[in-house]
């Protein structure tokens, strides 16, 4: 199969591992490499890539799972909307178990059977077309990868004059989060493995300012084990050669400027705002909300919503895990109270969450 078989050649991968070992020895200090994509996290875990690394090469997972970084307040608002008469909530399936301050959509579904799992925002729009007497709200959560389709759905709704369709905007942008982590006082990141899916949309050039400003190598990676290993090699070689730059390992898919049409429709419909990332806090210019001329489709603008304040404190270390400061097995809840069947924190909920990946593939 084109684009796949040639990236699964075991002998080539063995040679890359040897090169990684060589450069690990040459650098001779601890190197922290962060992947910023949940699919990369799963690939690293599934194929035991951490175990192939030299002792001084530490692979850490960042906030690359949109479900994991959705704040409690967003879930709280969704639940309050669910309780309203004639409202139907539509959402991607992995949002159902995400805990809010007091409950989750899955738990509330027992009391308010008005939640539908959809595979696309277009499915939610079809529900709105078929139920004109109801108010259909789509939980719009995701990074740059899914945002263009959501924006296009809004345009279609306007063109078809569908007035009972809304979104609860929770979309986020990856580069501002990467820069936020590097600004931390005790930042421990020596290189980034950049997300392939996101990079298809935003392009290689979106990371150049980060690489130059913080003198750090960034490598856009595909999703085969070969891609990950080659990206690690590129980062280590860049560090050794002191040539920090943005390398596009995923050239077969990712272009220099990304998908210009997708970016155009995002910023036709949305504008950039500060946003809360669960366990991390407010990150400047990292979120998206509907522009004023699309407020008719904004759930927060069209419904009166009040949520209870919560000062809930838990032993969940998801925030520290998302920052790359802790490993899942350092959390006191991991495997004990928090499992994929009964997730306590958002990093265990999503199939691409760091804790979920460790539970499946890297339990001690």
| Residue listed under structure tokens 């925030």 | 319
pLDDT for the residue 1: 47
pLDDT for the residue 314: 79
pLDDT for the residue 61: 95
* Burial (0-12, 13-18, 19+ Cβ within 10 Å), 336: exposed
Single out the residue of 70, 72, 138 nearest to residue 352, CA to CA.
70
**pLDDT(301) > 60:** yes
5-62+186-194+209-247 folds as: Rossmann fold (3.40.50)
Condensed to tens digits (0 to 9), the pLDDT of residues 170-227 reads 999 999 999 999 998 787 899 999 999 999 999 999 999 999 999 999 999 999 999 9
Q: Above pLDDT 90, what percent of the chain?
A: 83
pLDDT classification of 364: cutoffs 50, 70, 90? low
State the Cα–Cα distance between residues 158 and 156, nearest whole angstrom.
5
- Per the prediction, the chain carries an average pLDDT of 93
pLDDT for the residue 115: 92
If one compares 292 and 8, the residue with the highest pLDDT of the two is 292
User: Is 301 strand, coil or helix?
Assistant: helix
State the Cα–Cα distance between residues 233 and 200, nearest whole angstrom.
22
State the Cα–Cα distance between residues 21 and 35, nearest whole angstrom.
19
Strands 57-61 and 31-35: parallel
Single out the residue of 229, 299, 261, 277 nearest to residue 40, CA to CA.
229
pLDDT for the residue 305: 86
* Burial (0-12, 13-18, 19+ Cβ within 10 Å), 33: buried
Condensed to tens digits (0 to 9), the pLDDT of residues 3-49 reads 566 667 778 889 999 999 999 999 989 999 999 999 999 999 999 99
State the Cα–Cα distance between residues 244 and 155, nearest whole angstrom.
41
User: Is 170 strand, coil or helix?
Assistant: strand
Q: Average pLDDT in the 351-359 region? A: 93
Asked if 5-62+186-194+209-247 and 72-173+258-302 have one fold, the answer is yes
Q: What are the backbone angles phi and psi of residue 242, rounded to the nearest 5°?
A: 55, 45
Strands 218-220 and 57-61: unpaired
In CATH, which superfamily holds the domain spanning 72-173+258-302? Answer: HypD, alpha/beta domain 2 (3.40.50.11740)
pLDDT for the residue 312: 67
Other beta carbons within 10 angstroms of residue 133's beta carbon come to: 6
Rg over CA atoms, the chain: 21
pLDDT for the residue 156: 98
pLDDT for the residue 209: 97
Are the beta carbons of 95 and 105 closer than 8 angstroms? Answer: yes
Q: Where do the structural domains in the chain lie, given as residue ranges? A: 5-62+186-194+209-247, 72-173+258-302, 318-361
Q: Average pLDDT in the 152-171 region? A: 97
Q: Average pLDDT in the 259-281 region? A: 97
**pLDDT(112) > 90:** no
Q: Among the listed ranges 145-159, 228-242, 301-315, which one has the minimum average pLDDT value?
A: 301-315
- Integer CA distances (angstroms), 39 to 235, 249, 357, in order: 19, 16, 9
How many Cα atoms occupy the beta-carbon half-sphere of 196 within 13 Å?
Answer: 17
CA angle 66, 84, 305 (to 5 degrees): 65
């Amino acid at each position: 199969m084109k684009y796949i078989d040639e990236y699964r050649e075991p002998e080539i991968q063995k040679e890359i591992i040897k090169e990684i070992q060589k450069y690990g020895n040459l650098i001779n200090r601890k190197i922290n490499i962060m992947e910023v994509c949940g699919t990369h996290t799963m690939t690293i875990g599934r194929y035991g890539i951490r175990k192939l690394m030299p002792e001084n090469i530490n692979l850490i997972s960042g906030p690359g799972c949109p479900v994991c970084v959705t704040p409690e307040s967003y879930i709280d608002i969704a639940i309050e909307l669910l309780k309203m008469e004639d409202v139907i909530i539509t959402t991607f399936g992995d949002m159902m178990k995400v805990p809010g301050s007091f409950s989750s959509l899955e738990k509330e579904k027992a009391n308010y059977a008005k939640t539908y799992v959809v595979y696309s925002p277009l499915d939610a729009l079809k529900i709105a077309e078929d139920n004109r007497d109801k108010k259909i709200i789509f939980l719009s959560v995701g990074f740059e990868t899914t945002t263009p389709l959501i924006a296009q759905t809004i345009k279609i709704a306007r063109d078809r004059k569908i007035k009972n369709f809304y979104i609860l905007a929770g979309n986020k942008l990856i580069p501002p989060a990467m820069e936020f982590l590097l600004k931390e006082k005790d930042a421990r990141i020596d290189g980034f493995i950049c997300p392939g899916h996101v990079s298809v949309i935003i392009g290689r050039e979106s990371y150049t300012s980060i690489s130059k400003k913080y003198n750090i190598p960034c490598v856009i990676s595909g999703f085969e084990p070969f891609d990950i290993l080659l990206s690690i090699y590129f980062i280590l070689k860049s560090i050794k050669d002191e040539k920090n730059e943005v390398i596009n390992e995923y050239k077969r898919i990712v272009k220099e400027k990304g998908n210009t049409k997708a970016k155009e429709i995002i910023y036709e419909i949305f504008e950039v705002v500060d946003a809360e990332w669960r366990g991390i806090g407010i990150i400047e210019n990292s979120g998206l909300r509907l522009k004023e001329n699309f407020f008719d489709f904004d759930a927060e603008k069209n419904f009166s919503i009040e949520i209870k304040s919560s000062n809930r404190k838990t032993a969940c270390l998801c925030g520290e895990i998302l920052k790359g400061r802790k490993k899942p097995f350092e959390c006191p809840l991991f495997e004990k109270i928090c499992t994929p069947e009964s997730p306590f924190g958002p990093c265990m909920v999503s199939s691409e969450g760091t804790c979920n990946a460790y539970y499946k593939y890297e339990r001690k």
